[in-house]
Structure 1
Amino acid sequence: MALAATAVVIVAAGVRLTRVADSLSERTGLGDALGGALLLGAVTSLPGIVTTVTGSLEGDPGFGLANPIGGVAVQTVWLALADLVYRRANLEHAAASLENLLQALILVALLAVPVIAYATPDLRLGWIHPVTLLIPVAYGYGLHLLRRLQRSPMWEPVLTTATERAGEGPGASQARMSSLWLQLAALGLVVGVAGWVIGQAGLGVIAATGLPSTLVGFTFTTAITSLPELVVLVTAVRMGTPTLGVGNIIGGNTFDTLMIAMADVFYLEGPVYRDAGDQSLVLLGGTMLMTAVLAGGLVVRDRKGIGFEGLVLPLVYAGTVALIFATG
């Protein structure tokens, strides 16, 4: 019952988050893609942050690391589901945006950083791996590149009748900025508490069933903690702002890589990569492949239907889960 109630709370908060963040991205001048990265991406990731920190503090490195990686994977699959909702055109075609494409490339780079840590498990700075410090630095530089691209783009996507233009979709809320920021903070607190409940439930499932913690973290808990991203994506698509929806997913995924660093910081028994096991490498590889497929979809831009990426993304995710289950 607690999990069902938590899911309902996350869904309800996610709908309101869409409206608030859309208004803030318009009124602050961030734009839909960058607004999705900074506002929606950060706040809707709060359940996953709390779940990841909970797993690491409880001494389960596999669970702590699988949550952020699994969050990236599950949220990428959400795009295939949203394609079914957006009937006007292929979702990636309509959401053509250099910011979204650059975010996907930044995400691949950030996911590659932990692979270096896996290859050098004995390096440590205190109890963390030195490479962990590169993740927030690279993330910050990625945001700098996004802002620079937005100000002076050197490429432009070809606009078609199905491409969302700047300024399309509902107008920004007329509420005061202070009120919008307070609403954003309050909704963030709600989904953060929900994340703690989910983290405890996930650890309980591992203890009760004996399933690998990487499998539970990659599937069960991330499917619930990623509900805000799904709700925000579907709501944004129905509002007629697909760029905001896709930007939320890719921006949220990029933000989730910071949770990999958090998993290492809050795991106090040494570098989390050393103790998480080889299955986490499988998760990283599958998730990087999914992100590359998504970037390909943003470039190829099939005009109608779900496109090749809508078929390949669920298959790669299912294959990754099958590998973890078979080797667990």
Structure 2
Amino acid sequence: MFSSLVYSIAAFSAAALVIVVAGSLLAKWADTLADRTGLGEALFGVLLLAGITSLPDFAATLSAAMDARPDLAMSNVMGSMAVNLVFLGIADIVYRRANLEHAAASDVNLLLAALLIVLLTLPILAIVTPMPAQWVVHPVTPVIVGAYLFGLRLVHHSREKPMWFPRMTHQTVADKPEKRPRGQTMTVWIGFITMALITGVAGWVLMEAAKHIADQGGVSDTLVGGILTAIATSTPELVTTIAAIRLGALTLAVSNIFGTNCFNMLVIAAADIGYSGGAIYHDMASVQMTWGLVSILMTAILLLGMLRRETYGIGRIGFESASVLLVYIGTLGVMITAS
């Protein structure tokens, strides 16, 4: 598609810019639709916004898997999940009134964090689990899909009949849908869906450009996928999270990150289905699972932070946010050195 490295970089940059612009609009319309539909920020973030902001990852990862490049596909989606968790740390720095995990306390967010830890263990188990003869996909792949759907059921049930409530403080921002005018809701939906389609197409273009950058620039698929495309395809999460915070939709900001990472597990399942060489878990380099293990560690740290609910922390940054940033920076250094 791209005849030179310069064209590839230009296409990559243009696609990333489109994703950033579309992501900022998605956050604004998502906050409006969360109120108008009555779903609330947490549930809307999990059911709709998370899937929409994952479209670039979905398009990019599936494109690489169908092109028989398992390292590029898996490093992209696994690296994206780690980057998304870093974005929560950045969001905590942006939100100066209190620790973000304290202010956005929600039973839904706790459930999503726990669900993510469960889901992230499954691809790691798939590496050491043999694939039966004549099977088209690895048996762990349908388990991932089933576990995700069961997790959504738990989240919905918790939303309808919560059995756990956060202690309300002056810094807590409750997730209560606001009453907004019902007019022009269809216009908002059209804009929301349009931006969703644009981000998906941009994600596919971005990965096509990334393939050529890796080939023409002599950079490994692991490095390109785990860092370059992972950060680029995750920009919708950063943009929508920061935009949601500025709109005061804190629960939407946090649930979007955890919901997106949970949805990304379906992206992994799709990559295994789209990969024609057998089980994608067996053909990728084992280093790809480093991002998976690091994501489990970072999610567990954030879960501890949401349970502890530190009000401010040093410099109004929670210990969990600082720890997540340090873990990611350290891992990034190791991955660059290893590549």
- Residue of structure 1 equivalent to 2:70: 61
Residue 210 of structure 1, CA deviation: 3.2
Q: Does 1:192 align with 2:200?
A: yes
Q: Does 1:324 align with 2:338?
A: no
- Residue of structure 2 equivalent to 1:131: 140
AA at the equivalent of 1:231: V
Q: Which moved more, 1:180-189 or 1:44-53?
A: 180-189
* 1:96–1:243 contact (8 Å) kept in structure 2: yes
Give 1:287-306 correspondences, 5 Å limit: 287-304=295-312, 305-306=316-317
Match for 1:140 among 146, 149, 156?
149
Name the CA distance, whole Å, in 2 between partners of 1:173 and 1:283.
Answer: 44
* 2:175–2:251 contact (8 Å) kept in structure 1: no
Match for 1:264 among 263, 272, 275?
272
Name the CA distance, whole Å, in 2 between partners of 1:234 and 1:138.
Answer: 29
Give 1:92-131 correspondences, 5 Å limit: 92-123=101-132, 126-131=135-140
Residues 274-317 of structure 1 deviation map (CA, whole Å, 9 limit, x = unaligned): 10011122121111111111111111111111111111112211
Residue 67 of structure 1, CA deviation: 1.5
- Residue of structure 1 equivalent to 2:324: 313
Q: Which moved more, 1:1-10 or 1:226-235?
A: 1-10
Residue 135 of structure 1, CA deviation: 1.0
Q: Does 1:151 align with 2:160?
A: yes
Q: Does 1:80 align with 2:89?
A: yes
* 2:36–2:179 contact (8 Å) kept in structure 1: no
- Residue of structure 2 equivalent to 1:10: 19
Q: Does 1:34 align with 2:43?
A: yes
Q: Which moved more, 1:18-27 or 1:283-292?
A: 18-27
AA at the equivalent of 1:94: A
When the two structures are superposed, what TM-score results if normalisation uses the length of structure 1? Answer: 0.95
Identity over the aligned pairs, expressed in percent?
Answer: 41
Residues 192-242 of structure 1 deviation map (CA, whole Å, 9 limit, x = unaligned): 111011101221222133333122211110111111111111011111111
Q: CA 1:124/1:241 → structure 2, altered by over 3 Å: closer, same or farther?
A: farther
SS of aligned partner of 2:295: helix
Count of residues paired in the alignment: 327
* 2:24–2:239 contact (8 Å) kept in structure 1: yes
Residue 118 of structure 1, CA deviation: 0.5
Residue 180 of structure 1, CA deviation: 2.8
Name the CA distance, whole Å, in 1 between partners of 2:65 and 2:335.
Answer: 20
* 2:31–2:252 contact (8 Å) kept in structure 1: yes
Name the CA distance, whole Å, in 2 between partners of 1:173 and 1:20.
Answer: 14
* 2:131–2:139 contact (8 Å) kept in structure 1: no
AA at the equivalent of 2:200: G
Name the CA distance, whole Å, in 2 between partners of 1:172 and 1:113.
Answer: 42
Q: CA RMSD in A?
A: 1.6
Residues 72-107 of structure 1 deviation map (CA, whole Å, 9 limit, x = unaligned): 110110111111211111111111001001001001
Q: CA 1:292/1:5 → structure 2, altered by over 3 Å: closer, same or farther?
A: same
Residues 97-126 of structure 1 deviation map (CA, whole Å, 9 limit, x = unaligned): 010010010011111111111111444653
Residues 227-268 of structure 1 deviation map (CA, whole Å, 9 limit, x = unaligned): 111111101111111111111111111111111101111111
* 2:65–2:272 contact (8 Å) kept in structure 1: yes
* 2:137–2:272 contact (8 Å) kept in structure 1: yes
SS of aligned partner of 2:15: helix
Q: Which moved more, 1:50-59 or 1:178-187?
A: 178-187
SS of aligned partner of 1:155: coil
Structure 2 unaligned residues grouped into runs of 5+: 1-9
When the two structures are superposed, what TM-score results if normalisation uses the length of structure 2? Answer: 0.92
* 1:47–1:225 contact (8 Å) kept in structure 2: yes
Q: CA 1:173/1:184 → structure 2, altered by over 3 Å: closer, same or farther?
A: farther
Name the CA distance, whole Å, in 2 between partners of 1:56 and 1:260.
Answer: 10
Structure 1 unaligned residues grouped into runs of 5+: none
Name the CA distance, whole Å, in 1 between partners of 2:60 and 2:284.
Answer: 16
- Residue of structure 2 equivalent to 1:218: 226
Name the CA distance, whole Å, in 2 between partners of 1:298 and 1:306.
Answer: 13
* 2:53–2:236 contact (8 Å) kept in structure 1: yes
- Residue of structure 2 equivalent to 1:90: 99
SS of aligned partner of 1:161: coil
Structure 1 runs of 4+ aligned residues shifted over 6 Å read none
* 1:127–1:269 contact (8 Å) kept in structure 2: no
